[in-house]
Amino acid sequence: MADLFLKFLRKTLRKLAQLTIWRYRPGIVGVTGTVGKTSTKIAIKTVLGKTRRVRAASGNLNNDLGLPLAILGDWRESDLRLVSRAQPRGTARFRKLFFWMRVIVTSIWRLVFRDPNYPEILILEYGADRPGDIKNLLKIARPNVSVVTAVGDIPVHVEFYAGPDELAREKGRLVEYLPAAGFAVLNYDDEAVLNMEQRTRAHLMTFGFEKGAEVKISRLENRIENGHPVGVSFKLEYKGAFVPVRLQKVFGRSHAYAAAAAAAVGIVFGMNLVAISDALGEYVPAESRMSLVAGVKQTFILDDAYNASPLSMHAALDTLRSLPAKRRIAVLGDMLELGKYTIEAHEAMGKIAAESANVLVTVGPRAKFVAEAARAAGMKKTAIISFDTADEARKPLQDLIKEGDLILVKASHAMALDRIVEEIRAF
C-alpha cells in the first residue's frame, strides 16, 4: 500500500510541478555538481534576491519528490524534515499524509487562482545519485541557466557509476538540455566541468581562480582580528572591473567559488559587479559548511560536518593549515559512496592530514585508512586517535581539546559528526 501511495504521489507532484511552471513561467536556475551545491544556491539567492522575487530549493530538495516540492511552494523546515530521510520510515504517518494532502490542495489552488507572489526565479538543485537521475528531473523542469559547481577526480556518489567520467556525463545533462538562448555557468578550474561546454549550444559563462575565467577570483585571504579568524576576503574581476567581497564567519575556497558562481548568474540577469558585491556581503551559508563556531574552552570549530568528498575534504584541510591556532585538530569521518575508490581516497586524505593538523581524530571504519596513512606519512602515533562512531568520540574529544585549539570537523552526513560539534561548541 505504501509503495502504491508513493508511486501516486510522485506522478501527482510531477504533473502539478509541470503545470505550475507552465502557469507562472518563472526563470529557472539549475545547480548541480558533487560539492558546493547548497552554498551556491544560497549565494545565488542572496544576489538575485536583491532585485527579484526568488525561491531557492531548501536543503536537499533535489530528487523526484524534492524538486517538485521546491517548485510548488516554500514549505516549513519542520514539514520538510517530516518527509525527509531523517524521519524513520513508517512513523508519523498521519502527519505525513496531512502534509502531502496540503501540498496537493495548495498547488491546485495556485493553478486555479493566480498567486501574485509566486517567484520570478526558481533556483533548483538537480541531484544525480544514480545514472538517469538528472534526465528524469529535466522532464519536470528545464533550466534557462545551468550552474555546475565541481566534479573532482573522485566525486561523491561515484559508487553507483562506472567511474568519474560517467558521473560527469550525467551532471553534464543539465548543460546539454539548455536552450540556445540559455547560459551555462561552469567552473573554469575543474576540467571535467569545463569540458561540458562542448555539449551545449547555450551561451557560456565561466568562474574560478585560474587565468581565463570570465568571473575571476583573486587575492583570497583569511581575515584575522585580535588573533582570531573572522572570515575571508577576495576580489572578483569581470571584464577588467574589480570589486572586493568580504564573507563573515566562513572559510575556504568553496565559499569563494559559490560567490563567483552567484556573481556570474547575477551578470547573466543584468546586475553589475558593485550591486553583486553589496549583496554578497549579506551571504549566510547553511549550517556545517566550513562555518566558524565558538567552541568550549575558548576554542574555535571549523564546522564542515554536513558532508564530505575527497575534493571538499582536501580543501577543508588546506584551510585548517592556513589559519592561526595553538594546535590544529582534524576530526575526520568516513567519506561514503566512493565505491572502489574508498581506500585510495581515504589514504590520500591521511597524507594531507599529516601535513595540516597537529592532532588527528578519525571516526568510522573507513576513516581508519586516514589514520594509517597519516601515521605512515610521519604523524606521531600518540597524535592519532580513532573511534568507531561519533557518540564514542564526543566525550574524549571534549577532554582532549585545550584553549586556543582550532578543530576541523568533517565527514559524510550519515556519520553524524554534527553530534560532535554540538558536544564541543560553546552555547
- Report DSSP letters for 330-393, one per residue: EEEEPPPS-GGGHHHHHHHHHHHHHHH-SEEEEESTTHHHHHHHHHHTT--GGGEEEESSHHHH
- Shared-domain flag, residues 349 and 229: no
Percent of the chain with pLDDT over 90: 80
What does DSSP assign to residue 250?
Answer: B
Rounded Cα gap, residues 353 and 331, in angstroms: 10
Does any domain span residue 285? no
Q: Residues with Cβ < 8 Å from 427, sequence gap 6 or more?
A: none
**C-alpha cell belonging to residue 130:** 544514480
How long a stretch of residues is the chain?
Answer: 427
**Residue 208 near residue 189 (C-beta atoms within 8 A):** yes
Does any domain span residue 186? yes
Residue 5: the pLDDT is: 81
Q: Residue 400 sits in a domain of what CATH number?
A: 3.90.190.20
* pLDDT of residue 11 exceeding 80: yes
For 254-308, the pLDDT digits (tens) are 999 999 999 999 999 999 999 999 999 999 988 889 999 999 999 999 999 999 9
- Shared-domain flag, residues 213 and 298: no
Residue 83: the pLDDT is: 78
- Shared-domain flag, residues 295 and 239: no
Rounded Cα gap, residues 245 and 263, in angstroms: 11
- Shared-domain flag, residues 131 and 245: yes
For 83-136, the pLDDT digits (tens) are 777 677 777 788 888 999 999 999 999 999 999 999 999 999 999 888 899 999
Residue 1: the pLDDT is: 58
Cα Rg, the chain, nearest whole Å: 22
Using the 3D structure, point to which of 261, 280, 299 is the last residue of a domain. Answer: 280
Does any domain span residue 197? yes
Residues spanned by the domain of 301: 291-424
- Shared-domain flag, residues 119 and 44: yes
- Shared-domain flag, residues 247 and 130: yes
- Shared-domain flag, residues 219 and 317: no
**Residue 66 near residue 162 (C-beta atoms within 8 A):** no
Residue 210: the pLDDT is: 97
Between the alpha carbon of residue 68 and those of residues 9, 12, 32, 63, 154, the distances in Å are 11, 10, 16, 8, 30
Does any domain span residue 286? no
Closest by Cα among 239, 234, 236 to 262: 236
Q: Residue 124 sits in a domain of what CATH number?
A: 3.40.1190.10
For 44-63, the pLDDT digits (tens) are 999 999 999 999 988 778 89
- Shared-domain flag, residues 214 and 117: yes
What is the distance of C-alpha 303 from the center of its chain? 13
How many domains is the chain partitioned into structurally? 2
